[in-house]
Structure 1
Amino acid sequence: MAVVIGAGVGGLAVAARLAAAGHRVDVVERAATHGGKLGAFSRDGFTFDTGPSLLTLPQVFRDLFTDTGADLDTALDLRRVDPACHYRFADGTTLDVPHDADAVPGALDAALGPPAGEQWAALMAGAARLWDLVGEPVLRNPLGGVTDLVKRATNLRDLAAIAPWRTLHGLGRGLDDLRLRQFLDRYATYSGSDPRKLPAVMSVVPYVEQRFGAWHPAGGMRRLADALLQRCTDLGVRFHFGTEVVAVETDAAGVVGVRLADGERVADRTVVSDADAGNLYGHLVRDRRARGPLRALRSVRPSLAGFVLLLALRGRTEDPRHHRVLFPDDYDDEFRSIFGKHPRPVPDPTAYVCSPGDPGSAPPGCEGWFVLVNAPRHEPGSGVDWDRPGLADEYADLVLATLARRGLDVRDRLRWREVRTPADWERDTASPGGSIYGSSSNGPRAALLRPANRSPVPGLHLVGGSAHPGGGLPIVTLSAEITARLIGPA
């Protein structure tokens, strides 16, 4: 038997793998439903995904379904997103990034002018080498510390290529065009991080997106969570929604089970946590063997948070795009605002607009937009208090005005809006301050040496965005693969 804390994507994936390996699995989830940050919202005939807008590395999910006795393509209709994303820069330049990696340099030259394409192709060639070094070999295997990472590099040349002291922003200084540098820096936000602190090795993120393509399930990203839930149910996993774990209990030999908010105890020698690692080690586990990971976590910052508008719009947008990114004049100020000593809502934020146009996602003649801007976490007293009266509506108005300045004025089409602040995400998902991606990757240790999947407390394991190998849908799914392999068959 195994107990899984949390029914996010990592929790669902590890539950499926453990059940397929013969374990009797119980998943305990404090929320009323499954999926964690991969959520959905419906109102008046509009349905919005409230989490990720694209799926990368689809093979990771095919492997999960195959390994547990099913076929992903039967459970989910994955479709190419082409162009993968539409970008608008502050000077009005636009760029459509093709689904096909080989076509990206030509698109960059057409939008930004030579030598943008040649420089990007050279950068991606280096990223391909990094992917060989620290991509799948690290992402699919446990990593216990610096020594394990060094072992992955077979010679000094490999270590120099990894260059943990170099940042993504620093790597971008080799690109001539400011717009191309912004395009590169944007990939830091895939892990909720600051490009000025994110190790340059994370240039593998755009490489992966372009090499393996951008995808979207027909019917919305929430369908992925539903498919994972069904896979677990078919394998006999039992779910307990609206049930909060308040403690992981231990004895001298290790884990003995979990204690629930109502006082009930669930006894088991195998516990997997899909909760934030800081919450696990800081609040749920009271065991001296957990002190080491807790000390290490004190030097790691949670990822940035998100401020979201769900917009119900009359009419249809001309020249629609699945995913748009609208850059500000001063992109660096976004990261100064969020990660600086005195965090503040970004005064001129980058706007991310997702409108996949799935049939049935809006009433006839209408469309729904998911609009995200990066935001500082909810930290009353020391940072931004997103519950301050009036702040959410004021900032929502600012975001709509920002869209209008960048050529997407939808204020006269607006039927209604729903606002989700970092404080709302914290309450809904139990993520510290509403951090979207678990821990940030600001610095080599945070990026490459997250809390291990096997805890120092025997029988306690971790999955999810705050554990190795990191955040993002395919990556947390790989954390489940690692953890299930560590636990082994029943």
Structure 2
Amino acid sequence: MARIAVIGAGMGGMAAAARLAVAGHEVVVHERTDTYGGALRRFTRDGFSFDTGPGLLHLPAVQRDLFVKTGRAALEDRVGLVQVPVTARHVFPDGSAVTLPNAARGKVVDALDEALGAGAGERWSELLGRAREVWEAVRRPLLEEPLRDEPGSRGALVRDDALPVRPRRRGLLRLPRSLRPGRAPALAALADGELRDPRLAALLGSCAWAHGLDPATAPASAIVLPYIEDTFGTWYVRGGMRNLAQALYERCRERHVEFRFGTRVTEVRERDGRAAGVGPLADGAGEADAVVVGGVAGAPGGVAGGELGTARLTVLLALRGAPDDNTAHRTVVHRDLGGAGRAPVTVLQPDDPALRPEGDFGTAVLSVPVPVGSLRTQAEAERLADELLATVDAAGLGLGPRVLWREVRTPADTEAETGAPGGRVPPPALPGAGGAFLHPANHPAGSAPLPGLYAAGGWSHPGGGLAAAGMTGAMVAGLVQDPEWRGSR
């Protein structure tokens, strides 16, 4: 049995802690704030509750596996996990709109044909079919195995641009320069060349923007993002996504993980050339045989990244009137047509009585990615919030007249909660582009700053998102047990 110190009680750190504890290790989690969950926080006021981080869940199999591997009670025994009826409703600047059924490819094709014209659904489906090729090629090395750079390893594949994401040839003279063979296109360029409808291109681009990635610069391999939603569905946790963090925290406590809140760790201690604990803590409280850095950019130990992704502005709306039966859980309001341009506004309106007072009330969360450092004052954030609300109302959502009060949350609020400089939100890792969209390895063997030092959470491989955070826990637990661990079999 080893003593393990985990820095940070985010979802990645807790996933690692639970798995390590069930393997028989003594685990202590040091968290600088007064609570757990990382970005999965909750804002409450006057009987209204809001998720301030991720509002939906993808790849729930990752969380199910975590709960199966760490205790008797399954995930659904601890949280109310429901599949939302539609992936999203998209509203475009030209007034057209389309509602995409959840995890139903045939119905999606029909919906696109009806809303955007004959052939739109076929082009979208064809692109997702090619995304499946990318997914099957990189799923294991990207999401299930530690990132390695040894010659001939599958880890090299996720850096290679020679993935099955090339544009279909329709004659070189008909392809834009950025799509010609021999060049790895950006997602927006692929969308323009392949989908041949600016609304479809905007729909594809929104899948990148949702993760804080600009489709003008994100690699074309980002087509795996809509494929994941289309194939595995979109899910919600009743009572809000914060309940998922609470369930994982309780699972850690059941496995005798110790939590020390209000403990700021500023260094990883070294002894005999290995990580030997965290500090500054008195009375030997930070001594350990291994240290797991739970994922913020610039964290102690130097193993976390943080140059990718954007920040985010979030507007919480307490509303008069509950949502009607036709209100989509997620609405994406596009401010530009095409795969690039301004990021769309995402509106979440969960029909969840647990989030609102008794009576005729509702909630909505507006969010949009913003460049790091772009909102320097609260007044600037309030002006942008006004603009976003006007945009969604012009698209027909009618939220403005229903607002009782609002709370505008800036990147500074995200930074205070997660510790990420500038409030940056980590995006998921993506293959290709020479590895430019990958995150640091969980145990960078051969180039590790310190043996016995590991990384979990959104700023390490395989990046941001709840599914990826869960995978970091599995990878770290495997590597602590065996430094040559190659992934689950």
Shift of 1:489: 7.8
Q: Matched residue pairs, number? A: 455
Which position in structure 2 is the counterpart of 1:63?
Answer: 65
Which position in structure 1 is the counterpart of 2:115?
Answer: 111
More helix by share: 1
Residues 81 and 147 (structure 1), Cα distance of their counterparts in 2 relative to 1, 3 Å cut = farther
Task: Name the aligned partner's letter for residue 254 of structure 2.
Answer: D
2:377 alignment partner, one of 385, 388, 391: 388
User: Which structure 2 residues correspond to residues 377-456 of structure 1 after superposition, within 5 A?
Assistant: 377-378=372-373, 384=374, 386-388=375-377, 390-437=379-426, 444-445=433-434, 449-455=438-444, 456=448
Which position in structure 2 is the counterpart of 1:359?
Answer: 353
Task: Name the aligned partner's letter for residue 451 of structure 2.
Answer: P
Task: Name the aligned partner's letter for residue 88 of structure 2.
Answer: C
2:364 alignment partner, one of 353, 359, 369: 369
Which position in structure 2 is the counterpart of 1:462?
Answer: 455
Residues 149 and 110 (structure 1), Cα distance of their counterparts in 2 relative to 1, 3 Å cut = farther
User: Counterparts of 1:114 and 1:447 in 2: how far apart (Å)?
Assistant: 37
Shift of 1:16: 0.6
- Give me the CA root mean square deviation: 2.6
User: Counterparts of 1:30 and 1:151 in 2: how far apart (Å)?
Assistant: 33
User: Counterparts of 1:360 and 1:316 in 2: how far apart (Å)?
Assistant: 12
Structure 2 unpaired stretches of 5+: 167-182, 484-489
1:302 alignment partner, one of 303, 308, 315: 308
Say whether residues 1:311 and 2:350 are aligned partners: no
CA contact (8 A) 1:254 1:458 kept: yes
Which position in structure 1 is the counterpart of 2:41?
Answer: 39
User: Counterparts of 2:431 and 2:414 in 1: how far apart (Å)?
Assistant: 21
**Secondary structure, in 3 states, of the residue corresponding to 2:164?**
helix
Say whether residues 1:169 and 2:200 are aligned partners: no
Q: Which moved more, 1:255-264 or 1:387-396?
A: 255-264
Which position in structure 2 is the counterpart of 1:338?
Answer: none
User: Counterparts of 1:304 and 1:431 in 2: how far apart (Å)?
Assistant: 11
2:143 alignment partner, one of 139, 145, 149: 139
> Cα deviations across residues 362-387 of structure 1 (Å, max 9, x unaligned)?
12101111110121113xxxxx2x34
> Cα deviations across residues 314-351 of structure 1 (Å, max 9, x unaligned)?
1134431111100013566645xxxxxxxxxxxxx521
> Cα deviations across residues 266-312 of structure 1 (Å, max 9, x unaligned)?
01121101132x412xxx23xxxx5xx68xx5xx7331111111111
**Secondary structure, in 3 states, of the residue corresponding to 2:353?**
coil
Which position in structure 1 is the counterpart of 2:11?
Answer: 9
Shift of 1:439: 7.8
1:328 alignment partner, one of 323, 328, 335: 335
User: Counterparts of 1:394 and 1:190 in 2: how far apart (Å)?
Assistant: 22
Shift of 1:396: 1.9
User: Counterparts of 2:165 and 2:339 in 1: how far apart (Å)?
Assistant: 24
TM-score under structure 1 normalisation?
A: 0.87
Shift of 1:153: 5.3
Which position in structure 2 is the counterpart of 1:245?
Answer: 265
Structure 1 unpaired stretches of 5+: 336-348, 379-383
Shift of 1:462: 0.4
Say whether residues 1:225 and 2:245 are aligned partners: yes
Residues 397 and 16 (structure 1), Cα distance of their counterparts in 2 relative to 1, 3 Å cut = same
Shift of 1:60: 0.9
User: Counterparts of 1:148 and 1:95 in 2: how far apart (Å)?
Assistant: 45
Which position in structure 2 is the counterpart of 1:84?
Answer: 87
Shift of 1:259: 0.5
1:257 alignment partner, one of 277, 296, 308: 277
